[in-house]
Amino acid sequence: MGNCCCHEKQPRRHPLQKNIGHNSGVDGKLAHILETNPRSHVDIIRTRPTPTRTNVPRCNKIVVALYNYMARDVSDVSFKKGDRMEVLDDSDGDWWTVTHLLSKETGLIPGNFVAKEQSVESEDWFFEEVSRKEADKLLLAAENPRGTFLVRPSEHNPQGYSLSVKDWEEMREYHVKHYKIKPLDNGGFYISTNKTFLTLTELVQAYSKNAFGLCHVLSKPCPKPQPQMWDLGPGVRDNWEIPRIQIKLVKKLGRGNFGEVYYGKWKDLTVAVKTLREGTMSTAAFLQEAAIMKKLRHKQLVALYAVCSKEEPIYIVQEYMCKGSLLDFLRKDEGRTLGFEDLIYIAFQVASGMEYLESKQLIHRDLAARNVLIGENMMAKICDFGLARVIEDNEYCPKQGSRFPVKWTAPEAIVYGRFSIKSDVWSYGILLMELFTFGQVPYPGMHGREVIEQVEKGYRMPKPTSHQLPDDIYKTMISCWDGKPENRPTFEFLTHYFEGFNVTSEIPYREVPD
Ligand code: ADP
């Protein structure tokens, strides 16, 4: 625990940067080179040198491990939570060169698994990248007792933090209370003005001994989920064309439109492997798109780890999402019992992933509940972004055909092939209807052609009577289906709308009275 205020670095970042990794964003130059020579990515990205003990500048920073990590390559170093390491080079955002202070091994480690020793980020209770909604989800896990807590940067006050605490009350059962931690002008923090502290650590220590008016004394830090990995390992981060022999297909998970999907292994790591039937798409076009997909980083987009494209069928190696597609999930036991808060949380996450694509001026073209995957803690991630552009299956192209997703597609995209982020907003409105009806097929009882004709005439799906859907959310769906694309909301708006949606069981953001 870092008690010394001079060591305690208070992290700052722009709220909009919170989900974006160091190498985020589409590299325009790379995308351009790939356009002219789709296969060239392998040569371009292999040129990055692997740091060695002799050529790295020392930066003399001691870091402490926040999680366990098992080496995946010859170039990386294993460590356990709490181990200390000296950083020799952290100039690469993802993989840092360190010397392990116990084993004396030198090699690469994932930079987001460690934090500077005695910094606030090294505290078990400090969660740098969680939103209020995620904090609720993490704290409400059944195994956490009353008083489980975390501290996170405030989403609204760039200098402030929030303390989120799990509480229990007779009438409301388990729920989470959020307290503002305000900064003092001359440094330091307070929740209540009559109790000020020099550091967040001191504040947490004090409220761990005495509730001082909080709903409950702070009992235990919330368990931290492992951070997202964007590569399989340092050796394959750039050379992400991997030999097929390294992939073990363990169990078939499902059948997609373009091939089968497997639960698989790369070394000891669990992955999902999408196999693409021969002729589904040209390898060159796919690799071009995959290079862009590989550059996109957002926690609401499924991470693309690697590909095997030397022979058919092409394998796409992705992050594994244990609960499968949102559509199947909603229709099965666990999904059918989801509470309203969970539905709002999923709507928020999908909007947030789409907001990221919107900010990169990319479009999905096939946004639907079947293309959202669910993982632990109700984590929702969009998949198949980018793939729609390279599919060579006539039936799936906007030319009419049995598998063209007419019910999800905006009229201007169906009629004129005008796909845009605004046609994605239309699809998002349909996805919302799927979500709030627990996976009902949109426009029940209507055929594709009828839908096209009726929607053109101004027909819109009515508010379902069978499920509780607040009028306001239905109005938002209708706004997504505005005939004029420019009148539809942005994903930025939709993210904030669902982020701030006041579920009745929630109490407003509270402060402890003075
Ligand atoms: P397609 O887009 O080609 O139709 P999908 O991506 O929908 O194929 O995959 C089919 C099924 O495989 C999904 O419904 C889901 O159950 C499973 N699946 C796909 N990707 C993953 C993944 N990354 N993790 C876990 N399951 C997945």
Answer yes or no: do 36 and 117 share one domain. Answer: no
Domain annotation covers residue 55: no
Residue 415 domain flag: yes
* pLDDT over threshold 80, residue 467: no
| Any domain includes 345 | yes
Domain hosting 409: range is 28-46+324-499
72 and 35 within one domain: no
Confidence category of residue 303, pLDDT binned at 50, 70, 90: very high
Distances (CA, A) of 346 to 122, 155, 294, 495: 29, 19, 24, 11
| Domain tally, the chain | 2
Task: Judge if 104 and 36 occupy the same domain.
Answer: no
Ligand 1 probe mutation, 253, 276, 391, most atoms within 8 A of CB: 253
41 and 117 share one domain: no
Residues 359 and 430 in one domain: yes
CA-closest candidate to residue 140, choices 150, 129, 128: 150
Pair (397, 463) in one structural domain: yes
Of 96, 121, 146, the residue at which a domain comes to its end is 121
Same domain for 407 and 345: yes
What whole-number distance in Å separates Cα of residue 70 and Cα of residue 5? 33
Q: Which has the minimum average pLDDT: 107-121, 123-137, 191-205, 270-284?
A: 270-284
CATH number at residue 115: 2.30.30.40
Condensed to tens digits (0 to 9), the pLDDT of residues 100-134 reads 999 999 999 999 999 999 999 999 999 998 988 89
Distance between Cα 371 and ligand 1 center (Å) = 7
Both 367 and 329 in one domain: the answer is yes
From 249, 261, 330, 366, the mutation candidate for ligand 1 (largest count of ligand atoms within 8 A of CB) is 261
The verdict on 41 and 91 lying in the same domain is no
Per-residue pLDDT for 263 more than 70?
yes
Nearest to 432 by CA among 502, 331, 350: 350
Nearest residue (CA) to ligand 1, atom 16: 324
387 occurs within a structural domain: yes
Give the residue from 92, 121, 150 where a domain finishes: 121
On whether residue 350 sits in a domain, the answer given is yes
Which pTM was predicted?
0.82
- 366 classed as catalytic: yes
Q: 182 a known binding residue?
A: no
Residue 114 lies in a domain: yes
Q: Is the peptide bond before 405 cis (omega within 30 degrees of 0)?
A: no
Q: Which residues surround ligand 1 with Cβ inside 6 Å?
A: 253-254, 256-258, 261, 272, 302, 318-321, 324-325, 328, 370, 373, 383-384
Whether residue 214 lies inside any domain: the answer is no
Same domain flag for 449 and 407: yes
CB 93 within 8 A of CB 21: yes
Q: What mean pLDDT is predicted for residues 54-80?
A: 84
Please count the other Cβ atoms lying within 10 Å of the Cβ belonging to residue 374.
Answer: 24
Q: Which among 76, 366, 384, 424 is annotated as catalytic?
A: 366
Phi and psi (nearest 5°) for 381? Answer: -135, 140
Q: Using pLDDT thresholds of 50, 70 and 90, give the confidence band for residue 259.
A: confident
Residue 435 belongs to a domain: yes
Amino acid identity for residue 218 in this structure? L
pLDDT at 24 over 70: no
Domain boundary among 121, 152, 173: 121
**Residue 500 banded pLDDT, cuts 50, 70, 90:** confident
- Residue ID of nearest Cα to ligand 1 atom 10: 256
